[in-house]
Each structure stands twice: as structure tokens, then as C-alpha cells.
Amino acid sequence: NTTMIKMIKFSMVVCFLLAIQVSAASRYEPDVLPLGRAYSDLRDGLQNCHFQFERKKAGRIAFLGGSITAGGGWRDHTMNYFRKRFPETEFEFIGAGISSMGSVPHAFRLERDVFLKGPVDLLFVEAAVNDTSNTSEILHMLRGMEGVVRHARSINPLTDIVHLHFVMPAHMVDYKKGKTPDSIEQHEKVASAYGNPTLNLSLEVTDRIQAGEFTWNEDFKNLHPSPFGHRLYANSIARMFNTAFQKPLSSAVKPHALPDIVDRKSYVNGRLGSISSVHHLKDFKWNPAWKPIDKKDTRSGFVHVPALVSTQSGASFEFDFNGTGVGLFITSGPDAGRVEFNIDNAGFRPLETFTRWSRSLHLPWAVILDDGLENGPHHVRVRIAEEHHPDSNGTALRVFHLLLN
């Protein structure tokens, strides 16, 4: 009938347009440099994973990032690249992308989400977009990323680590002004210190748009890329690995050197602490499978799981830990309250947990209470403040994990 014919024609048009997008992103095959330049820096190279994939015929590759990683696309293309490049190798791929996550939560969830099954041969890590969006604390960007890298290398000195810098409009504005975006600058400090390869896709996309090859609005479309953008990312990743794998294969794997720490406050010993360790609860309740009653969106891993919950101002709890830094892994929804915390009886300090995304989403949010403590035992008291953000409709606090460094 007429309706079915129209639907078929519409589907054909959509498929044609998607094919054009993917084809456009493929104009530069992985071995052809866009604009005649490489946007990668191989530094100490990728010899360990190359040896593992080529000689040992096995490989474990992890993808640590935010929503751009969680959504697949470039990640799926990249997995296919390794399967085709090493057809006799048995790969295990670990998808450790969680929407809204930047380098700070990456550092604390690393052991659980990346190394739970054992050593990793190759780790991709991206946080440039979410670090730009989520924090104004520039040093948190460095401390989070160094926490990831140094912790990973302490678990397995053989792990090769690749830093990916994805693009967003704010980065493009900075580059057009001749400025490196803060998050990329901090992540590059870590990559350079530890000899890790980096691929600056943010700069590549900016340059190619300015050169008139494609547009943001019609082709790339969003910081969550269109199929065109994901294919472009994957092509650039393949190009970098093709270059790295052209080098003669080493005779054995070699542990990466561990340099002097860049920032002694980095979250290099970050881990998730259990909320079952809290005590002196006042008006907080243990919910074994929390879910919102307001029907707002949630993120995987932060719904239908245990949480420590209160919606009352004045509610409080306490806990003890050993280390130099401490925080909370919470969700920040439409009713997120303000927090006051007291460490070692030094007086209460305020902390806002409501975010610009909280109106429509129970957002997973990593908040650092203090990361400059003397190494040793500490006592923490947390309570919900009387006042809340003007745009919040409540005084709620929902805690899923302690952040302990």
C-alpha cells in the first residue's frame, strides 16, 4: 500500500545518508595522513601489546571512558581493527565506559572496572570531554589521570596505555584562540611523564573543519559523534597503530619505567570503599536496590544497586579511613542537597552536589572532599545541610561508594 511504499522509500533515504556519512569519514584511509600531518605522539611506543598480540596470540584490551566510549561506535570499529590485524589472536575486550565519567571517577573505579579479571595488555583512556564539562578544578584533571596511569602501571608494568582526546565545541573555541584546552593540557602532562602515546582527535577535527573538509553541524553533529564522527575516530586510531606496528617487533616485553610522580596528591591509590563501613547513621537508611521514584533517567551501575540514602536535612553518617584523600560517589538528581563534611574534627566545610544536569537526570557524580591530607588514619563526618541549591527541589543525598585514596 501507499503507506508501506513511503516507509520503504524513507528507510532507503536514511540508509543512503548514513552510508554517505560513513563514506565521507573514510575519504582518508588509515594510512593517509589528514592535512599531511599526524595527530598522534607515540612516545615510548606500543611494543608490549604488539608482542603480546603477534607472538602470544592473546590480548586483553580495555576501553576506559565516558559516554562516547560507552556508546560503542569508534570502540566497535577499533575492536574489528584488531581482529582483522591479528586474525589468529584471541582477544578479550573490556568495555569500561560509563556515561558522565571523567578522570577522577576513572581513578577510583580502575581496579573494579578494568583490572578485575587480571592484567590488561592495552588500555585506552579518554576523559578530555567530561573533564572539561564536569570540573573547574584543573588539578583534579591531572590528579585523576595520573591516578589512572600510575595505578595501572603498579598493577601491571607491561600495560601499554593510549590517551585519546575527543572533541567538543569548547575545545574548538580554545584551539581557534591558539590555546590548548585545560583538560588536554593536563592529560598531556601525564602522558608525557609516563611515555604514553596520545591521539589528539580534538585538534584533528578542529583543523579539518577549519580546512573545509566537513562541518560540525552537518557531519560530526555532536560531541557524541554521528556515524561519520565515530568512523573518523576509528580511522585515526587505526592510522596510529599501523604506524606503531611498522616498527620491528621486539624480542620480549619490557616493563615501563615508573617516573617520579607528577603530583603527590594524585589519586594513584584510588579505590572504591564500601558504604557498609559507615557508622553512627542518623536518618540515613540502607537501600539494597535503589531506584528513583520521580521517573528521571539514571546511569547503568547507579540504579538497582545498594545505596545509603536520606532526604532529610541534618541527616549524617561517619566513617574512618587511612590515606591522603577522600570523597563520595553519589548520584545528583533533581532533589540533590548540599553537603557539609568534617574531617578529623577540623570544622565543617560546605559542598554543593546539585549540577547543571540534575534537573533531568540522577547523575553519577564523584565529589572529592579533601585530597591534601597527611597520610594516615582519618575520621570523616558527613551531614546534609539545611539549605539547598535554588534549582534543587530537595535535600537528598544518595551514596553508592566511598572514594578512598
Exposure string (b/e) for 58-78, b if CB count within 10 Å is 16 or more?
ebbbbbbbbbbbbbebbbebb
Query: Residue 345: CB partners within 8 Å, gap ≥ 6?
Result: 379
Counting as low any pLDDT under 70, the low residues of the chain are: 1-32
CA distances to 127, 245, 296, 346 from 360, in Å:
23, 45, 6, 36
Angle at 290 between CA 286 and CA 293, to 5 degrees: 120
Backbone angles phi, psi at 250, to 5 degrees: -70, 165
Contact 198, 128 (CB under 8 A): no
Residue 248: strand, helix, or coil: coil
The pLDDT of residue 72 is 86
**Whose CA is closest to 162, among 134, 137, 190?**
190
Pairing of strands 58-65, 90-97: parallel
In eight-state DSSP terms, residue 86 is S
Contact 78, 140 (CB under 8 A): no
Instruction: Count the residues in the chain.
Output: 405
Query: Residue 379: CB partners within 8 Å, gap ≥ 6?
Result: 318, 319, 320, 343, 344, 345
CA dihedral angle for residue 62, residue 64, residue 67, residue 68, rounded to 10 degrees: -70
The pLDDT of residue 176 is 96
234-257 per-position pLDDT tens digit: 999 999 999 999 999 999 999 999
The pLDDT of residue 23 is 46
CA dihedral angle for residue 209, residue 125, residue 330, residue 70, rounded to 10 degrees: 70
The DSSP line for 172-223 is HHHHHTT---HHHHHHHHHHHHHT--EEEHHHHHHHHHHTTS--IIIII-SS
* CA 295 from centroid of its chain's CA atoms: 26
The pLDDT of residue 29 is 58
d(CA 110, CA 143): 14
The pLDDT of residue 31 is 63
Contact 187, 203 (CB under 8 A): no
Backbone angles phi, psi at 111, to 5 degrees: -60, -45
The pLDDT of residue 28 is 46
Q: What is the grid cell recorded at 366?
A: 564523584
Helices (H), 257-390: none
The pLDDT of residue 2 is 52
194-207 per-position pLDDT tens digit: 999 999 999 999 99
